[in-house]
Structure 1
């Protein structure tokens, strides 16, 4: 009997077959090359291998990313989801092996019996048992349990890739929020300078009015421009506060007071040129695409489990032990007992439930294929959009800089002509407005250009590790995010 119990896993392993269909990934539904992509230099480091410390050289931003990876709740939830999926996979994998248990019982029973003369007698019986048992172990002849285990494993791997995708998204989101905050700060500073300029212009207009060298119309125009500049300043202050709130939410707590000083947008050490490679490279570098692939593997395994449900299920229940009415002689050789109870069940009629479950599994696989292809297309578009920005932002910034320089020269000349009496105040006000608009546009354009670099970095799978050549195990590892992850 003991030899039979020990041979059950071998019997199940040898007898098992699989009804899971062979999975063939669909070809990427995108062009073979990215538009506007240039041939990378031989020494260029792929974005997926470029740590975020190397990508973002601003010490203040690096510290903020560190804090976010330690305290952000979304990343912590993603790590907990990985642990939950891992334990679910362990639960499913346990079904491949027999569950062996030890049971020890002792019973004492009082019974009443009546003889032919109507007399009642009482008797007390005792029974002690010790058994090692295998309960309802399914021989996985058609691969149903194996398919369920494979599906759970694929979902676990998908959750790991999902956590990595959240990691990359968080690094990119902190960088974007930081640069948005820096844009708001510089726009507020520029608005303060603009207000000071218009207030100075208003004071001058009032002095000229008192000296009867200008009209009340000039004063009214100056007052209107000063009021507009004041309103603009309040809007910039509100945008700065909202940007700070967004950054604080991503970091996961109040920002410490000992952060390094921020660098201006014009001096941000953000790498501008990243090799895009080929669209097929994204399948290996982007965690969200690998997550979609694993979900497709899981859906395919579900079909195998649904197919196997049509076939007979054989389960074994067996026990071996000792039983005796006296506890002292429980383990005597003559008190050995055993039980072997195989069970065969074959579905006959279930109202079409099994066929519906199979069709449902096939539909969900088709959905997983569509989601996998859509994820590839979205990834391709993100990279292509960022490459379009890389190809055009430099020329746009150069043109905008020329426009700002021309507006500044026009303002200087208009001020000279106004002071010499050749031009009226309207021409000077118009030149001032043009110069202010050009400065604001330059700030916004520099921010857009940096944000485009961040988008390209994320879309190429960069940001998973802090240092080049590998991930940073000291920041936001699954064990750090979930202290109980390694407990058994």
Structure 2
């Protein structure tokens, strides 16, 4: 527990019994004021600068389109899909609804700052009777009489719990910060779903490239099988060569079918992310792009302003800090003011009688004298929540740094790996051609050709896999840097305390207004 919070608690306990302190605290709030703790962050990225020539062409993160980070890939299909995620993803709408609920809760808490006004009206109609006895003329008889009366009771009344110590304002502060955290959560989940879609999209394009690769090899192996079959029919080839060519063709056809299965699953996943049934989405085949855009330039300090998960953790710290003040306020007496004015009677009979009008003014203060230490325990619990939020914030920043460093180093070494893999593919393709010529010349058996073709196909698959990993690492790095989002897009504290706060710009409506 910090010395500041201990001092605040001691002041609360000692000042609760003094009237001068009461007048001095009106308009203020008990409890510690929020100051953002320092994050554990480096001055620069360990894996930066990137390889020579890479940084010079890299876009500036600050100049990226806000939120539209995927446009750097210059893919119209991807652009359309990503825009649909923000508008139609149903999981994202769940988080947006939670944000709106949190924003509405602010108003319900703020309402406690104002007096509660109420009015009453009642009406009653009563019947009363009486009887009298008469013995005149020596005959006894009684006379009964009855009459009715109407009574109206009306009048307003008001009560107000004065927020002398700022308990309600601390609750408002806590809820405002929590709502901002929910807004950051919406932005983070939107970024997460858009990242997932981009990954699925490039995985699908990788499968398109694999399908094209397998299809080319299936045609090649089928042609080779026809040649060997003709040679066998002519008596110049052995049956083993034909069987080897056939199983190579069949295994490649099986790989082709498996690639089609994977592609279908990615297409279905993309449909779900864009809020559509799988039957409503069909993407035309297209291979992975030949070039990959350069990653944006950034420094670690930008993560504090551009990552929504970091912003969420930071807003949670202020919310828990306000909770401490609210719990400290429980040590102080609660002051309540009340007033009422009313009328009771029959207005037709007592219209000008002031005795039928009533009014009252009152003030009361209540204080818990003994509660067995529950209030002190509540303060300690709130302080533990705050300390936990601080640790979560710092850990979130460290995780952001790790993610970013991972992708930077990955892009660096994937670039080197791709260059080596391209050379290996060329060598393997040359080996296939040489082995086939030697087989046709009768100096090699067909097993040598099979081995060369299998190696070439494996190297080509690895080549595509490296390119796929490059795109996935690029997408992850851009989103690890926040994807162009900034904390300036969070709703301000003032806007959240209006009667109808506007939705943040990153919360979008679909064409149906949902």
TM-score (norm 1): 0.85
Spell out the pairing of 1:89-488 with structure 2 (5 A cutoff).
89-109=106-126, 126-135=150-159, 137-254=160-277, 263-267=286-290, 271-277=293-299, 279-326=300-347, 335-462=356-483, 464=485, 478=507, 480=509
- Structure 1 gaps of 5+ residues are 1-10, 115-119
Contact 2:167 2:329 in 1 (8 A): yes
Q: Deviations over 1:146-205 (max 9, x none)?
A: 111111111111111111112222222221111111111221222222223223333333
For the 8 Å contact 2:339–2:362, the answer to whether it is kept is yes
Deviates more, 1:372-381 or 1:61-70: 61-70
Cα shift at 1:100: 2.4
Q: 8 Å contact 1:47–1:462 — kept in the other structure?
A: no
Q: Could you say which structure has the larger radius of gyration?
A: 2
The corresponding residue for 2:41 is 30
Q: What SS class does the counterpart of residue 264 from structure 1 fall into?
A: coil
The TM-score with structure 2 as length reference comes to 0.81
1:271 Cα shift? 2.8
- SS of match in other structure, 1:478: coil
| Residues 418, 111 of structure 1: alpha-carbon distance in 2 compared, 3 angstrom cutoff | farther
Decide whether the 8 Å contact of 2:178 with 2:316 is kept in 1: yes
Partner of 1:59: 76
Between 1 and 2, higher relative CO (CA 8 Å, sep ≥ 6) is seen in 1
Most deviating of 145-154 and 203-212: 203-212
Contact 1:58 1:263 in 2 (8 A): no
Structure 2: state its 5+ residue gaps.
1-21, 132-143, 491-501
- C-alpha offsets along residues 14-59 of structure 1, whole Å, 9 cap, x if unaligned? 7243222133333222322211212965994316743335323101
Change (3 A) 1:373 1:109: farther
CA distance in structure 2 between the partners assigned to 1:75 and 1:363 by the alignment: 31
- Per-residue CA deviation, residues 366-420 of structure 1 (Å, 9 max, x unaligned), is 2211211111111111111111123222222111111111111111122112111
Residue 75 (1) aligns with residue 92 (2)? yes
> Residue 7 of structure 1 corresponds to which residue in structure 2?
none
Q: Give the 3-state SS of the residue equivalent to 1:341 in structure 2.
A: strand
SS in 1 for 2:113: coil
| Aligned-pair CA distance for 1:257 | 7.5
Counterpart Cα distance in 2 of 1:355 and 1:427: 82
Instruction: Quickly say closer, same or farther: Cα 1:188–1:304, change in 2 above 3 A.
Output: same
Partner SS state of residue 316, structure 1: strand
- Find the aligned partners of 2:211 and 2:130 in 1 and give their Cα distance: 99
Matched residue SS, 1:134: strand
Following the alignment from structure 1 to structure 2, what is the Cα–Cα distance between the partners of residues 13 and 160? 36
Q: How far, CA to CA, are the matches of 1:452 and 1:327 in structure 2?
A: 86
Tell me the matched-pair count: 465
Does the 8 Å CA contact 1:69/1:476 hold for their aligned counterparts?
A: no
Give per-residue Cα distances to partners, 1:308-362, cap 9 Å, x unaligned.
1122112222223444432686698775422223232211333433233222212
3-state SS, counterpart of residue 49 of structure 2? coil
For 2:63 and 2:384, locate their aligned partners in 1 and report how far apart those are by CA, in whole Å: 34
- Is this contact kept in 1: 2:209–2:286, CA < 8 A? no
User: What is the aligned-residue RMSD (CA, Å)?
Assistant: 3.5
Check 1:88–1:20 CA distance in 2 against 1; reply closer, same or farther (3 A cut). same
